């Protein structure tokens, strides 16, 4: 059609064809006039194309008046070559295609190149993939990028899923501050947000006043005092140093702020500025400058009548704050339980007397501590529950359950606090290996318990740090299989065997599939490794190890994919209980028959339990502890095979007796 004597033609395929040809020219290095050197890798491109999509490179090229040999050179030492290649493809094709593992690197490169649209797309993608395991790493990333929009979205997710997050590995490694608030008679703590705004102000003022880094404040439990006029005071008031009605170091403040006792003279203004930055392990480090001195309440939950859990940013550091309210200054919830044998005997006698007066259907006695990610084993007819974690800390205490007396007593504590590990019995002794202490990287250390001496001793360390590894005794050796990588995001194939006589470690054949949080157990001379996760995706696959030929073979998969399940052997079959399916803690239980190579479902537990323990006592399968999706558990329940039911009552043991 030629209106006014002009020919008008639109070629719908021209743009796509031209773009494809230009990208082909880029990849072959033809007519390129810019070299991007990214951490030693060289990428060729065309200045005009890059200048159109990257304001950063436009500024660079605009100031590069005389490129050497007609080719501009731009160096990047802080970007990932794969991510820059993805952005180059986007610049030429308008298509952004990145593997999930590279999205954060692409975001970082887009931020550097000022490609705001790509930043937003990557941020939205991360939000769409966020779950309770990734929320804290994503928040750290958003903070390091200084992305307020992304941070706000992530904090909103954390507010809704705090209890679920508190069970995850990254949460356990966060710095933590423990506070006791002594309440005057008939007082209760205020609502979450208002309470923690006061707490954060108290921390700020304490750091300024003492000049100490934040980590010093976390070395011990801090005691505060909540008075009848709804003000929070330093714990020194309990010692009569200052009365609530007296003037304090910086004068009284209104109800929205915190009063404190001045312990040192105020520091000069220049020192006051530098005290905002903590030293050592709690330094914000790579945190974006915009957030470097951030103080922010994120989320909190009331976990019991006067106990709160909070996630907050203190001086630019993401921290966990635990707060207990108590009426009396003489009773601390953080007190270490007495481990003396006399007290244990006294407890046994008192509990035995109580049992005489109980009804027929008595509840099984609970552990002294709620524990998840604990190590469990049967030893000399008793259930041993070691370590584990709750929202406050990783534990080193070890409890022993006697099913005949239905009581828990303490035995010698482990040398190292640890959680997310498994325990096995080898040559009459308990062995624990690896795990996490909640404050550092995965552990490589291990220890063994001698019941005759009631003491733990160290064993040679693992060759690699391991958390969430399977542990199993087989042919008088201790096997450690799978586990988390140093970043805690991918499973391992590694399998190592420890000889307790020679005290040496040797490599075995690797697993077929990477696994962490898998359950491990010996049955009929074979080792079974069950479920777990490859990265964050739960597995239902099961592998069997034959020590005779050092090989792994896949057997029938479970009906339910699960990680963090517990396993034991009963009547020649594998019992797998609970775990986590990627969304929920599980009640369900299934059993594996090796003769038929098949799994079938059994009756479900009364409580959902992920990262719980299980053992057979007196012919009864018992599940203990774990996390039900909201609370950390100290309860026990037993399986009755005749009725195919689980119960928190002790009828099964009575029948066995």
Q: Are 383 and 615 in contact (CB under 8 A)?
A: yes
CA atoms within 13 A on the CB side of 339: 14
The pLDDT value recorded for residue 293 is 72
Q: Are 530 and 569 in contact (CB under 8 A)?
A: no
Give residue 109's domain range: 3-129
270 pLDDT above the threshold of 90: no
End of a domain among 114, 129, 144? 129
Q: Give the separation between CA 654 and CA 644, rounded to whole angstroms.
A: 17
- In total, the chain counts a number of residues equal to 657
287 pLDDT above the threshold of 50: no
Per mean pLDDT, which range of 103-112, 223-232, 325-334, 341-350 is the poorest? 341-350
Helices 116-129 and 103-112: crossing angle, nearest 10°?
A: 160
The pLDDT value recorded for residue 441 is 64
Per mean pLDDT, which range of 239-248, 459-468, 540-549, 615-624 is the poorest? 239-248
Residues 185 and 305 in one domain: yes
**HEC profile of 39-89:** CCEEEEECHHHHHHHCHHHHHHHHHCCCCHHHCEEEEECCCCHHHHHHHHH
The pLDDT value recorded for residue 262 is 29
Residues 514 and 649 in one domain: yes
Residue with the bigger pLDDT between 95 and 347: it is 95
Residue with the bigger pLDDT between 22 and 346: it is 22
The pLDDT value recorded for residue 440 is 62
- With bands split at pLDDT 50, 70 and 90, how would you rate the model's confidence at 121? very high
Share of the chain above pLDDT 90, in %: 53
Residue with the bigger pLDDT between 490 and 420: it is 420
DSSP 393-447: -B---EEEEETTTTEEEEEPPPSS--BS--EEEETTEEEEE--B-SSSSPB--EE
Residue with the bigger pLDDT between 279 and 457: it is 457
Q: What are phi and psi of 649, to 5 degrees?
A: -95, 165
- Of the candidates 154, 141, 158, 113, the one whose C-alpha atom is nearest the C-alpha of residue 291 is 141
- With bands split at pLDDT 50, 70 and 90, how would you rate the model's confidence at 234? confident
Question: For residue 350, what is the enclosing H or E element?
Answer: helix 341-356
The pLDDT value recorded for residue 68 is 66
For residue 150, how many other CB atoms are within 10 A of its CB? Answer: 23
Per mean pLDDT, which range of 146-155, 262-271, 529-538, 550-559 is the poorest? 262-271
CA distances 600 to 18, 573, 588, 590, 644, Å, are 59, 11, 11, 5, 12
Q: What are phi and psi of 439, to 5 degrees?
A: -125, -10
In a domain, 285, yes or no: yes
Per mean pLDDT, which range of 54-68, 98-112, 225-239, 507-521 is the poorest? 225-239
338 pLDDT above the threshold of 60: no
Mean pLDDT of 535-547: 92
Residues 322 and 346 in one domain: no
Is residue 477 classed exposed, middle or buried when 0-12, 13-18 and 19+ CB atoms within 10 A define those classes? buried
- With bands split at pLDDT 50, 70 and 90, how would you rate the model's confidence at 402? very high
The pLDDT value recorded for residue 377 is 96
The pLDDT value recorded for residue 645 is 92
Question: For residue 25, what is the enclosing H or E element?
Answer: helix 14-28
pLDDT tens per residue across span 168-187? 888 888 999 998 888 776 67
Residue with the bigger pLDDT between 340 and 30: it is 30
Residues 293 and 359 in one domain: no
In a domain, 140, yes or no: no
Residues 207 and 116 in one domain: no
- Structural domain count, the chain: 3
The pLDDT value recorded for residue 289 is 43
Residue with the bigger pLDDT between 363 and 79: it is 79
Per mean pLDDT, which range of 4-18, 559-573, 635-649 is the poorest? 4-18
- Of the candidates 235, 223, 136, the one whose C-alpha atom is nearest the C-alpha of residue 179 is 223
Q: Mark 390-421 as b/e (b = at least 16 C-beta within 10 Å).
A: bbbbbbbbbbbbbbebbbbbbbbbbebbbbbb
Residue with the bigger pLDDT between 73 and 288: it is 73
Encoding tokens for residue 143?
Answer: 């903070």
Residues 320 and 360 in one domain: no
* Sequence-separated (6 or more) residues with CB below 8 Å from residue 427: 476, 500
In a domain, 159, yes or no: no
Residues 238 and 382 in one domain: no
pLDDT tens per residue across span 427-480? 999 999 999 887 766 789 999 999 999 999 999 999 888 899 999 999 999 999
pLDDT tens per residue across span 405-419? 999 999 999 999 999
DSSP 560-626: S--BS-EEEEETTEEEEE--B-SSSB---EEEEETTTTEEEEEPPPSS--BS-EEEEETTEEEEE--
Q: Give the separation between CA 497 and CA 462, rounded to whole angstroms.
A: 10
Residues 467 and 562 in one domain: yes
276 pLDDT above the threshold of 60: no
The pLDDT value recorded for residue 653 is 67
pLDDT tens per residue across span 366-380? 999 999 999 999 999
Query: Looking at residue 110, which CATH number applies to its domain?
Result: 3.30.710.10
The pLDDT value recorded for residue 2 is 55
The pLDDT value recorded for residue 184 is 72
Helices 148-160 and 116-129: crossing angle, nearest 10°?
A: 10
In a domain, 477, yes or no: yes
607 pLDDT above the threshold of 70: yes
Helix (H, G, I), strand (E, B) or coil at 312: strand
- With bands split at pLDDT 50, 70 and 90, how would you rate the model's confidence at 336? very low
The pLDDT value recorded for residue 253 is 31
Residues 218 and 347 in one domain: no
Per mean pLDDT, which range of 141-150, 244-253, 535-544 is the poorest? 244-253
- Of the candidates 242, 236, 224, the one whose C-alpha atom is nearest the C-alpha of residue 326 is 224
- Whose tokens are 């930055």? That residue is 277
Residues 286 and 360 in one domain: no
Helix (H, G, I), strand (E, B) or coil at 480: strand
Please state, rounded to an integer, the average pLDDT across all residues of the chain.
82
Q: Give the separation between CA 656 and CA 303, rounded to whole angstroms.
A: 37
The pLDDT value recorded for residue 611 is 96
Residues 374 and 320 in one domain: no
- Beta bridge partners, 533, equal 516, 538
259 pLDDT above the threshold of 50: no
In a domain, 478, yes or no: yes
In a domain, 300, yes or no: yes
In a domain, 135, yes or no: no
Q: Give the separation between CA 133 and CA 152, rounded to whole angstroms.
A: 18
End of a domain among 94, 129, 164? 129
pLDDT tens per residue across span 86-95? 999 999 888 9
Q: Give the separation between CA 278 and CA 211, rounded to whole angstroms.
A: 10
- With bands split at pLDDT 50, 70 and 90, how would you rate the model's confidence at 239? low
- With bands split at pLDDT 50, 70 and 90, how would you rate the model's confidence at 99? very high
Residues 489 and 635 in one domain: yes
Query: Looking at residue 563, which CATH number applies to its domain?
Result: 2.120.10.80
Mean pLDDT of 243-255: 33
In a domain, 93, yes or no: yes
Q: Are 412 and 455 in contact (CB under 8 A)?
A: yes
Q: Are 217 and 281 in contact (CB under 8 A)?
A: no
What is the model's pTM? 0.65
């Amino acid at each position: 059609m030629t209106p006014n004597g002009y020919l008008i033609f639109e070629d719908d395929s021209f743009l796509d064809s031209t773009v494809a040809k230009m990208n082909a020219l880029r990849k072959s290095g033809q007519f390129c006039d810019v070299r991007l050197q990214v951490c030693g890798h060289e990428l060729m491109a065309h200045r005009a194309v890059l200048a159109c999509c990257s304001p950063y490179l436009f500024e660079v090229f605009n100031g590069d008046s005389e490129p050497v040999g007609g080719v501009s050179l731009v160096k990047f030492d802080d970007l990932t070559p794969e991510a820059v290649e993805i952005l180059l493809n986007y610049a030429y094709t308008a298509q952004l295609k990145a593997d999930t593992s590279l999205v954060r690197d692409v975001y970082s490169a887009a931020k550097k190149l000022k490609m705001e649209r790509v930043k937003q797309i990557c941020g939205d993608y991360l939000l769409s993939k966020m779950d309770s395991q990734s929320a804290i790493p994503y928040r750290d990333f958003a903070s390091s990028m200084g992305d307020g929009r992304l941070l706000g979205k992530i904090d909103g997710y954390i507010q809704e899923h705090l209890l679920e997050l508190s069970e995850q590995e990254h949460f356990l490694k966060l710095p933590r501050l423990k506070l006791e608030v002594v309440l005057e008679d008939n007082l209760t703590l205020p609502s979450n947000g208002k309470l923690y705004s006061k707490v954060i102000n108290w921390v700020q003022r304490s750091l300024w006043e003492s000049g100490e880094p934040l980590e010093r404040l976390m070395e011990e439990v801090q005691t505060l005092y909540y008075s009848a006029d709804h003000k929070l005071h330093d714990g020194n008031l309990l010692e009569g140093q200052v009365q609530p009605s007296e003037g304090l170091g910086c004068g009284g403040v209104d109800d929205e702020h915190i009063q404190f006792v001045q312990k040192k003279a105020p520091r000069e203004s220049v020192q006051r500025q530098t005290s905002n930055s903590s030293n050592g392990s709690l330094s914000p480090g790579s945190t974006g400058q915009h957030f470097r001195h951030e103080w922010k309440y994120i989320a909190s939950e009331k976990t019991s009548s006067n106990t709160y859990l909070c996630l907050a940013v203190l001086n630019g550091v993401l921290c966990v704050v635990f707060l207990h309210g108590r009426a009396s200054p003489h009773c601390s919830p953080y007190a270490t339980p007495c481990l003396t044998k006399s007290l244990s005997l006294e407890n046994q006698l008192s509990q035995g007397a109580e049992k005489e007066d109980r009804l027929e259907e008595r509840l099984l006695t609970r552990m002294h501590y709620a524990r998840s990610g604990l190590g469990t084993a049967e030893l000399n007819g008793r259930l041993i529950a070691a370590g584990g974690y709750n929202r406050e800390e990783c534990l080193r205490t070890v409890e022993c359950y006697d099913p005949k007396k239905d009581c828990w007593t303490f035995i010698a504590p482990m040398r190292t606090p640890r959680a997310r590990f498994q325990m096995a019995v080898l040559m009459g002794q308990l062995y624990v290996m690896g795990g996490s202490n909640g404050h550092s990287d995965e552990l490589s250390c291990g220890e063994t318990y001698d019941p005759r001496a009631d003491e733990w001793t160290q064993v040679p360390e693992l060759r690699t740090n391991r958390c969430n590894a399977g542990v199993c005794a087989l042919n008088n050796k201790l096997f450690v299989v799978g586990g988390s990588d140093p970043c805690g995001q991918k499973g391992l194939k590694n399998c190592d065997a420890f000889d307790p006589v020679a005290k040496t470690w040797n490599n075995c054949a690797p697993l077929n599939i990477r696994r962490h949080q898998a359950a491990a157990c010996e049955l009929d001379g074979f080792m079974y490794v069950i479920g777990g996760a490859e990265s964050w995706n739960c597995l239902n696959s099961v592998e069997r190890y034959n020590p005779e030929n050092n090989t792994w073979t896949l057997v029938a998969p479970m009906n339910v994919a699960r990680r963090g399940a517990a396993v034991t052997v009963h009547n020649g079959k594998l019992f797998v209980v609970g775990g986590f399916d990627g969304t929920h803690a599980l009640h369900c239980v299934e059993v594996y028959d090796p003769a038929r190579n098949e799994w079938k479902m059994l009756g479900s537990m009364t409580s959902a339990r992920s990262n719980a323990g299980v053992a057979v006592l007196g012919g009864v399968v018992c599940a203990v502890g774990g996390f039900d999706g909201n609370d950390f558990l100290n309860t026990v329940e037993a399986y009755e095979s005749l009725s195919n039911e689980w119960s928190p009552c002790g009828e099964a043991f009575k029948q066995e007796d």
